[in-house]
Amino acid sequence: MKSIAELEEIRKRTLEEIGLRKNKNSFRIVVGMATCGIAAGARPVMQAFVEELKKRNLHDVQVTMTGCIGVCRLEPIVEVISPDGSKVTYVEMNPEKAVRVVAEHIVNGRVCRDLTIGEAEGVK
Amino acid sequence: MGVRLMRDISLHLLDILQNSISAKATEITVHIGAIPSQDLLYLKVTDNGVGMEKELLRRVVDPFVTTRKTRPIGLGLPLLKEAAKRSGGDLVITSSKGRGTKVKATFGLTHIDRPPLGNIADTVVVVVTAHPDLELEVSFSNQTASQKLKLAEIRKHLGNVPLNEAEVLNWIKDYLKQSQKAIFGGVLDEVNC
């Protein structure tokens, strides 16, 4: 069974590490988590983002959730907000696509155009 | 995209938690209990959010009632009510304006149409990731034992380390998985019954 003592260990280990992290302005990932999002698979998508960010040691990217974004038929929907405030909306997401967005968009700064709402809706 | 639905109770729970958070709740208590002697499984969520007026409370399981502005349909609670009723249970919501809301869903434990329990740990971890400051309490019980996780307790041991730190999330996930298994005993996140 998991023990409270482990929490003390985690505290000792991570406090130093947190202090070393630069508090720079970073990306924010917002996952739509209303009924429509949940039913379409938003929970595993959010977990995939968290896992992939952890794997790559990207501690300063914030992952959060929100209610209905408004286009239920394109759920799971994820918004990626850049440090400069610009926003990209990804639609019909799944865990594999989430991993790709982290690698291409968050790490390399290249928007995955084929996954965006503009592409899905044929807006050029 | 295939059929989209709420596959298990843990997804319904995520939906209710999102409702509570939208209602500005800062303290939420979740209790899942199995009572085999009454063939009953229940999910109880209590929050200290803004609550509902009597009028809204009366209509809240109507799919054409919602507080959101994006479109006039809200399926969360109606879907949960249907899922509960399909297995011989029901959904009861009590609320008072300014005090909070209590949602209790009951299911026939051994009913063939009862949704599986699902992965409660995943639901809790997703919520804590997004809302590390939430005062959340999760407990499981059967007729002879119970297990509880109180985030306030964890915070005491963590000092300034936030709850959405990767290692802490992993700890919470493992702890809840083990608790769920210890209390309900089934395989694949199911209740042994």
Q: Which of B4, B18, B174 sits opposite A39 (nearest CB)?
A: B4
Whether residue B67 is predicted with pLDDT greater than 90 in this model: the reply is no
Average pLDDT, stretch B115-143? 95
Partner-chain contact B129 A10, CB within 8 Å? no
Tens-place pLDDT, residues A16-30: 777 777 656 689 999
Confidence of residue B188 (pLDDT cuts 50, 70, 90): low
Question: What is the model's pLDDT at position B55?
Answer: 84
Rounded to a whole number, what is the distance in Å from the CA of A123 to chain B's nearest CA?
21
- Give the closest of A36, A43, A63 to B11, CB-based: A43
Q: Is the pLDDT of residue B71 over 90?
A: no
* Neighbour count for residue B2 (Cβ, 10 Å): 6
Minimum distance, in Å, between the CA of residue B166 and any CA atom of chain A: 7
Give the model confidence (pLDDT) of A48-71 as tens digits.
999 999 999 888 899 999 988 888
Global pTM? 0.91
Look at residues A30, A28, A22, A15 and name the one whose alpha carbon lies nearest to residue A79.
A30
Q: What is the ipTM of this complex?
A: 0.87
pLDDT in tens, B21-60: 999 999 999 999 999 999 999 999 999 999 988 888 888 8
Would you place residue B2 in the very low, low, confident or very high pLDDT band (cuts 50, 70, 90)? very low
Q: Running DSSP on this structure, what letter comes out for residue B122?
A: H
Say which range, A15-24, B100-109, B123-132, has the weakest mean pLDDT.
Answer: A15-24
Nearest to A102 by CA among A56, A64, A71: A56
| Cβ–Cβ contact A15 with B under 8 A | yes
Give the DSSP H or E segment for A44.
Answer: helix A42-55
Question: How far is residue B86's CA from residue B69's CA, in Å, rounded to a whole number?
Answer: 30
Tell me the domain boundaries of chain A: 24-120
CB contact under 8 A, A35 and B75: yes
Mean pLDDT over A96-106 rounds to: 96
Examine the pLDDT at B12 and tell me if it is beyond 50: yes
Q: Which fold has domain A24-120?
A: Glutaredoxin (3.40.30)
Among A63, A45, A97, A30, which Cα is nearest to A105's? A97
Q: Hey, is A82 helix, strand or coil?
A: coil
> What's the CATH number of domain B9-182, 3.40.50.1820, 3.40.630.30, 3.40.50.720, 3.30.565.10?
3.30.565.10
Check the CA dihedral B10-B23-B93-B79 and report its sign: negative
pLDDT bucket at A98, cuts 50 / 70 / 90 = very high
B148: three-class secondary structure by DSSP:
strand
Average pLDDT estimate for B96-122: 94
| Residue B171: pLDDT over 90 | yes
Question: Which has more confidence, B140 or A121?
Answer: B140
Averaged pLDDT of chain A: 90
